[in-house]
Amino acid sequence: MLYYLFDYLDKHYDLAGAGLFQYISFRSAMAFVFSLLISTIFGRRIIDKLRRLQVGESVRDLGLDGQVQKAGTPTMGGIIVILATLIPVLFFAKLDNVYIIILVVSTVWMGLIGFIDDYIKVFKKNKDGLKGRFKVIGQVGLGVFVGLMLYFSPQVVIKEKLNTPIAVESHQMQAANPSSVFGEEVKSLKTTIPGVKNNEFDYSKLVTWLGDDYKKYAWIPFVLIVIFIITAVSNGANLTDGVDGLAAGTSSIIVLALGVFAWVSGNIIFSSYLNVMYIPYSGEMTIYISAFVGGLIGFLWYNTYPAQVFMGDTGSLTVGGIIAVLAISVRKELLIPILAGIFLAENLSVILQVSYFKYTKKKYGEGKRIFLMSPLHHHYQKRGYHESKIVVRFWIVGIMLAVLSIITLKIR
Question: What span, in angstroms and rounded, lies between the C-alpha atoms of 115 and 313?
Answer: 7
The verdict on whether residue 313 carries a ligand-binding annotation is yes
Q: Which distant-in-sequence residues (6+ apart) come within 8 Å of 220 by Cβ?
A: 207
Nearest to 394 by CA among 259, 262, 237, 286: 237
Whether 2 and 92 have beta carbons less than 8 Å apart is answered as yes
Q: C-alpha 33: how far from its chain's center?
A: 20
Which segments within 259-374 are labelled E, that is strand? none
Whether 59 and 75 have beta carbons less than 8 Å apart is answered as no
Q: Which distant-in-sequence residues (6+ apart) come within 8 Å of 80 by Cβ?
A: 39, 42, 43, 46, 47, 295, 298, 299, 302, 309, 315
* Size of the chain, expressed as the number of residues it contains: 412
Whether 300 and 210 have beta carbons less than 8 Å apart is answered as no
Nearest to 156 by CA among 188, 183, 184, 182: 188
Give the Cβ contact number of residue 172 at 10 Å: 8
Residue 124 burial by Cβ neighbours in a 10 Å radius (0-12, 13-18, 19+)? exposed
Question: What span, in angstroms and rounded, lies between the C-alpha atoms of 21 and 130?
Answer: 42
Residue set of the binding site for Mg(2+): 238, 313
Residue set of the binding site: 238, 313
